[in-house]
Amino acid sequence: MNTLFELSEKLKKREISSLELTKAYIGRIDEKNPLLNAVVHKTYDKALALAERADKRLAEGNAPLLCGIPVLLKDNICSEGDLTTCCSKMLSGYRPPYDATAWKRLEEQGMVLLGKTNMDEFAFGSTSETSCYGAPKNPVDPSFITGGSSGGSAAAVSAGFAPVALGSDTGGSVRQPASFCGVVGLKPTYGAVSRYGLIAYASSFDQIGVFAGSVKEAGVLFGAIRGTDSHDMTTCAGFYSAGKRQDGELSAASAGRRLKLAIVRELSDGIDEDVKNTLERARAYFSGTGAEIAEVSIPSLVSALPAYYIIACAEASSNLGRYDGVRYGHRAEGAASFEELAVKSRNEGFGDEVKRRIMLGTYVLSGGYYDAWYRKACEVRETVARGFLKTFEKYDVILAPTSPFIVPRFGEKRGAADLYRADMCTAPANLSGLPAISVPSGTDRNGMPIGLQIIGNRFDEETVLFAAEKLEQGLKPQHDTWGGYAC
């Protein structure tokens, strides 16, 4: 198994060319993707051209660490001229005329784009089953789901279709599928990474995140995409130190830290027994390393999930109003009026879950309900954020489950409420704009992965990554990455 760092070293020593590496990953995708359905749009011609460009850069010397390394993007992250459909019939055939800032920064580093990955339609879901292309399957065992909404990216890294991938996280859509597929998934601080070119779901929550086989690899990819952007005024330089070098190693100051961790009662109540056991093993491990660890309470978190769904659906209703059959998206045939055109286009273009969330959002924004629901949810959001800030006055990070339950099988009966509950442990970080990472930490009764989550203070990704590396060293299952790498 080759890590991103090993592949980079081979490329720089000219033991393998980027073109050869890219062809190897293309071969693996073509071989395994018909079963897993993780990649929905292939950009092989672009990949080969980018690989040739990377080889010229490598031959000149002093190329960045990521130069020549293949990557995959979630199907809601724009790249110029490439199909980008949010896995929805509404955007069938859409090819954006511009690059997302996150992808542009990776391209400037010399990375090679292999294609776009499967996802829940418009990122509305926690299983990736709402995709118009059909659900991706879990590489660990294809009878199980990948999680969502970035299920294709998680499955692709797990299966070795690329060493790293980008996804988006609105309420847990990077961390939860990372947990289910046995890979690392990082959601940065809101504002740390530009959202320009990320097709919007809920604009005050959406954040581009990264998938990788290890915490160090995730940290390197995050370092390449973070930073301010004139196209996205919500981006902020933050308060980053030089604690992470390009090779992913921690600074001496960070490496010598004694961690203070909190386990928040409201994030660990009502979880599956296997998840609870994994959390207890992590508690024991950190205690054994000399870290200070204690159980705390943030009472406002009992209202975090409903507040998240009220605000997220309201923002989704607003963001998706543009798809009316005239300005953007699918246009229905045979409509006699604008109203009929909008209704027919949306009925034909949107799936059931998208329609459900648009209707929920429209309801809470409507006259007579705005104050009762939306405004109250915003007040809860502020209370939750204050609760986290108070906790971080005493503790460095929070240790929590990523998912409250183990990986479900396809065909298990799950209602809408069950799907929304999947975000119980992850959505509070989005509600507060906090960085969080899921790390493979064990297996369940079915032999499927269990991830645990490290949540940190705003713009303190360095501490989050430091704690995550500690967790990875202590609890990572003693076997190779599930699918292995292509080379």
Mark whether 179 is an active-site residue: no
DSSP secondary structure string for all residues of 51-102 = HHHHHHHHHHS---TTTT-EEEEETTB--TTS---TT-GGGTT---SS--HH
**Distance between CA atoms of residues 449 and 76, nearest Å:** 26
Catalytic choice (8, 18, 149, 438): 149
Residue whose pair of structure tokens reads 């999947």 in the numeric block: 422
Catalytic choice (32, 42, 46, 74): 74
**Distance between CA atoms of residues 321 and 325, nearest Å:** 10
Catalytic choice (150, 173, 300, 317): 173
**Distance between CA atoms of residues 397 and 458, nearest Å:** 11
**Distance between CA atoms of residues 147 and 125, nearest Å:** 9
Phi-psi sector, 334: left (phi>0), alpha (psi -120 to 50), beta:
left
The full length of the chain comes to 487
Other C-beta atoms closer than 10 Å to the C-beta of 232 total: 16
Mark whether 74 is an active-site residue: yes
The torsion angle over the Cα atoms of residues 33, 453, 357 and 198, rounded to 10 degrees, is -60
Q: Are the beta carbons of 235 and 192 closer than 8 angstroms?
A: yes
The torsion angle over the Cα atoms of residues 303, 308, 309 and 311, rounded to 10 degrees, is 120
Of residues 137, 146, 223, 140, the one with CA closest to residue 177: 146
Q: Is 293 helix (H, G, I), strand (E, B) or coil?
A: strand
Q: Are the beta carbons of 434 and 189 closer than 8 angstroms?
A: yes
Burial of residue 13 (number of CB atoms within 10 Å: 0-12, 13-18, 19+): exposed
Catalytic residue numbers read: 74, 149, 173
